[in-house]
Amino acid sequence: MKTYFLFHDKWTEYVKADWAAARFPFDGFVVIHKTRAWWVPFLWRRIRRIGLVKVIDELLLRLYYALFQGGRDRRMLREYMDGVQREIPAGYQRPPVYHVHDINSDEAADLLRKLAPDVCVLMVMPLLKKKIFTIPPLGMLVFHPGVTPEYRGPHSSFWAVLNREFWGIGWSLLRVDAGIDTGAVLAQASTRNPDPLTESHVFLGHKSHVDGLPGVVETLRKLQAGESPRVSTEGRKSSNYTHPGLTDYLKYRKVLKDLRHAKR
């Protein structure tokens, strides 16, 4: 079974992919350099879709995070991922690495057809076009840092904490289809011992991914053995969330305040 790991060109994603490839024979990595459209067109499209007030709200949270939370998160994440990296065997050799600019481009489609994967695991942000996600016969499997279908979309950990549904801090491995995290779920679980009081929603997203890596490896082994792993989502609520804004973050802080009082 030819298997490839697709992810963005970020050091954290290399560590996660290397950890998995040290335990399952991936045939290669496909590294994507484009995360989204240039900021001005991206923001303009969002304004047209969700309104100027909502976009300003999101930008204010990004500014707040950059000024007051980003530095601490980077230090915590570096220490945490260093621990993950130490679990990679000393003799590990990274599989071949291929590079594309845009995952939805003709360039990427041509590369994937040439590589001829049976299945791909993805840690990517953009929605995939049908010409891309239909290439592997066993599917493109998005490794989502959230429990679906309840927590579809970005920043699942944020919304799970805000809703006081801490079981929603977790991961899912699901087949990509035309929707947003709506495909069949092959495996999922809640993150072990999340601590929203000391771990930000950004950190918890990475922690959820790391917690799910053994599940990804196990699922790939089942597919390789000809099995069809599946998690039933029948009767479960499906919710698609978007990027949080500063007003959402103020509510989030209220939840954290209540949690601190409850621990006293």
* Domain CATH for 36: 3.40.50.170
pLDDT tens for 43-91 read 788 888 889 999 899 999 999 999 999 999 999 999 999 999 999 999 9
Residue 69, beta-bridge partner list: none
Average pLDDT over residues 126-137: 94
Q: What is the pLDDT of residue 132?
A: 96
Tell whether the torsion through CA atoms of 148, 150, 154 and 158 is positive or negative: negative
Residues in the chain: 264
**Can you give the pTM of this predicted structure?**
0.94
The closest of 70, 73, 19 to 210, measured between CA atoms, is: 19
The two structure tokens encoding residue 65: 């995070």
For 116, the domain range is 3-263
The amino acid present at 31, given as its one-letter code, is V
Q: Report whether 121 contacts 144 (CB < 8 A).
A: no
116: left (phi over 0), alpha (psi -120 to 50) or beta: left
Q: Give the 3-state secondary structure of residue 61.
A: helix
**What total number of domains does the chain contain?**
1
pLDDT tens for 28-39 read 999 999 876 656
The amino acid present at 107, given as its one-letter code, is E
Please name the residues in contact with 112: beta carbons below 8 A apart, sequence gap of 6 or more: 4, 30, 120, 132, 135, 136
Return d(Cα 6, Cα 22) in angstroms, integer: 16
Return d(Cα 81, Cα 60) in angstroms, integer: 28
pLDDT tens for 110-123 read 999 999 999 999 99
